[in-house]
Amino acid sequence: MYTKEIEITLSRLAKDLLARHAKQQLLNNPEETMEALQRVIIYNDWRYYVQSDPVLSDYEYDQLFAWLKQLEKENPHLVSPDSPTQKVAQGLAAASPGATKATRGAAKAFPSVPHLVPMLSLDNSYNADDLIDWDRKARELSGLSEIEYCIEPKFDGASISLLYEDDKLVRGLTRGDGVVGEDITQNVMQIKFIPPAAKFSKYGVHTIEIRGEVLINKDTFKAFNDQRAAENLPPLANPRNAASGSLRIIDPKEVAKRGLEAFLYHMSYHVMEKGVTEPKEITTHSNTLDLFTELGFRSPSKEKRVVKGIQAVIDYCNAFEHERDNLPYEIDGMVIKVNDLCAAG
């Protein structure tokens, strides 16, 4: 278990590592630095995924994770099989030394179910040079001289995966550890813009797994915290924590009271009906967003932008940065995807 003293020590170590990273200054040697980074990252994974109460910003976490990857690349003989970089999933809720009785109780209440396709993390970029290099690699892999991209906000909420078969919602999962999620089907059915049935069959789709983000908008979050203050309860730290915690409430009726919303933004898996070819509505990422909206989901079909070439991507991201504070919900960046799903695959 992470005692209070251990948590304080790891928080201080994280601050020290961040300061050293800015100067590219190791501890005594690469091995000691890598071990320290692993400890801090594993602890922060636990805070983020199990406690829903992160102590590092996404930017700080990404910097430490990238530094660990860099050191492992430079020192392959020092790479540990237990390193966070070597695992897609670590079974955080089950394996964490800090798992509490409440956490275990929730795990029993919500059965664990594998995703049809793993919910992997996105690569991160904080400057134009990274995007230009990524575009170069994408063009080399696809053989295209110029790529069409779809850009949309990166919603700051709790990730979910929905499975529809024969037009009916049959399962809703949390992200979990990326490979296995918790079955919260009854809870997601309480969320706005998640229809219990959608006419995917109109387009010849028999089975489809779609990904999204559950959110609490800024006004709802403020009202919720005002109510907690009136009841002498501590406020929740941010809308993401509020959304994540709400999804794991045992009673669906209580979930319905939280004012949760959801954006659906990605088709991760689909099976066509026998003898039916794929329609244009699911051949590009942009078209799938429009399809989701048509079928009653809330998707970023209005917020998206389709452009050609990486410079147009950079220009749009810079322009959108000035609008993010005016949005009714929190975002933590932009997501850039190759629009042609055949080229992306």
Distance between start and end Cα atoms, the chain: 42
CB of 268 within 8 A of CB of 117?
yes
- Residue 202: CB partners within 8 Å, gap ≥ 6? none
Kindly provide the b/e burial profile for residues 285-322, where b requires at least 16 CB atoms within 10 angstroms of the residue's own CB: bbbbbebbbebebbbbbebbbbbeebebbbebbeebee
Distances (CA, A) of 107 to 92, 95, 102, 160, 174: 11, 12, 9, 16, 11
List the Cα angle 326/332/335 in 5-degree steps.
105
Cα–Cα distance for residue pair 234/184, rounded to 1 Å: 26
Give, to the nearest 10 degrees, the angle between helix 4-23 and helix 30-45: 130
Is 199 catalytic? The answer is: no
Map tokens 């409430």 to a residue: 249
Residue type at 181? Answer: G
Q: Which of 69, 87, 101, 154 does the annotation list as catalytic?
A: 154
Cα–Cα distance for residue pair 143/130, rounded to 1 Å: 20
Nearest residue to 150 via CA among 43, 253, 303? 303
Cα–Cα distance for residue pair 30/68, rounded to 1 Å: 10
List the Cα angle 38/332/154 in 5-degree steps.
105
> What does residue 215 show for φ and ψ, rounded to 5 degrees?
-130, 160
Write out the catalytic residue numbers.
154
